[in-house]
A and B are shown apart, each in its own frame.
Chain A
Amino acid sequence: DSGVTQTPKHLITATGQRVTLRCSPRSGDLSVYWYQQSLDQGLQFLIQYYNGEERAKGNILERFSAQQFPDLHSELNLSSLELGDSALYFCASSVELGPVNNEQFFGPGTRLTVL
């Protein structure tokens, strides 16, 4: 158990809908990362927050948005869902921002299926 929690574990929805994925980082971790794992794209970085502020953006679609709240939990909002958004969405957390040896602890993931 990495200490990172994600809810829900599974999510099935229809095209055009909107969903919210939730992540609670490990106690004491200030940095939260979101990744998407799909069969065609592999594991891709989406977005990073550090202590409530957005710090880096990757290949995140405009239909997707995220935020980190004062209690450090984070939410990833996916709207106008398409079939291609079906994927495993991971949240990861780490203590600090800078050091390259900063291990990221991954949550169990949320498996999103868009029908």
Chain B
Amino acid sequence: AQKITQTQPGMFVQEKEAVTLDCTYDTSDPSYGLFWYKQPSSGEMIFLIYQGSYDQQNATEGRYSLNFQKARKSANLVISASQLGDSAMYFCAMRGVNQGGKLIFGQGTELSVKP
């Protein structure tokens, strides 16, 4: 069975500092993708970053980077230089090659950026 675990229900970070949001996963699929989404209080789901299980390098998108450790089955999101607008829920998700197209989501981490 596939599972995503986010162990931090809530986190605080000072503006302009970096923060790491944890995500561990479990799957038996030989190939899979890992995604991070941001959900602000307005409710929409915003795609942030993607990491493929066979990608050699960690993914980066602007201030977002993914610390992918395949042996540990972890895919942590790192946000550098936090901004007040980063305050939101963050969801880690996985899509396995044998699971059709569905995304399996973790429970989310609520990030609050303090001025």
Residues of A within 8 A of B (CB): 2, 31, 33, 35, 42-45, 48, 50, 55-56, 58, 88, 90, 92, 94, 97-98, 100-106, 108-109, 111
Contact B108 A97 (CB under 8 A): no
Cβ of B107 under 8 Å from chain A: yes
With A43-B91, A88-B43, A109-B43 as contacts: A100 and B33 at CB distance below 8 Å: yes
A42 and B101: CB pair below 8 A? no
A selection of 17 A-B contacts at a CB cut-off of 8 Å is: A42-B108, A43-B108, A45-B103, A48-B101, A48-B102, A50-B101, A56-B102, A88-B43, A90-B45, A97-B100, A98-B97, A100-B31, A100-B32, A100-B95, A101-B33, A103-B50, A108-B43
Establish whether residues B44 and A102, one from each chain, have CB atoms under 8 Å apart when the complex forms.
no
Give chain A residues whose Cβ lies under 8 Å from the Cβ of B102. Answer: 33, 45, 48, 56, 58
In the complex, B12 has a CB within 8 A of chain A: no
Residue of A nearest to B55 (CB): A101
The 7 closest A-B pairs by CB, nearest first: A56-B100, A100-B33, A106-B45, A43-B105, A45-B102, A101-B33, A100-B95
Pick the contact of A48: B45, B97, B100, B104 (CB < 8 A).
B100
Do residues A111 and B33 form an inter-chain contact, with CB atoms below 8 A?
no
Instruction: Determine the distance from Cα of A44 to Cα of B3 in the docked complex, in whole angstroms.
Output: 12
User: What is the minimal beta-carbon distance from B44 to any residue of chain A, in angstroms?
Assistant: 5
| B-to-A contact residues, CB < 8 Å | 31-33, 35, 37, 43-47, 50, 52-53, 91, 93, 95-97, 99-108
Separation of A76 and B104 alpha carbons in the complex (Å): 20
| Complex Cα spacing A50 to B100, Å | 10
Contacts of B96 in A (CB 8 A): 100
Bound state CA distance, A33 and B93, in angstroms?
14
Tally of A-B Cβ pairs under 8 angstroms: 70
**Chain A residues positioned under 8 Å from B50 (CB to CB):** 101, 103
Q: Is the CB of B101 within 8 A of A97?
A: yes
List the B side residues contacting A45 at CB < 8 Å: 102-104
Q: Are B32 and A103 in contact (CB under 8 A)?
A: no
- In the assembled complex, the Cα of A31 lies from the Cα of B101 at a distance in Å of 9
A103 touches B47 (CB 8 A): yes
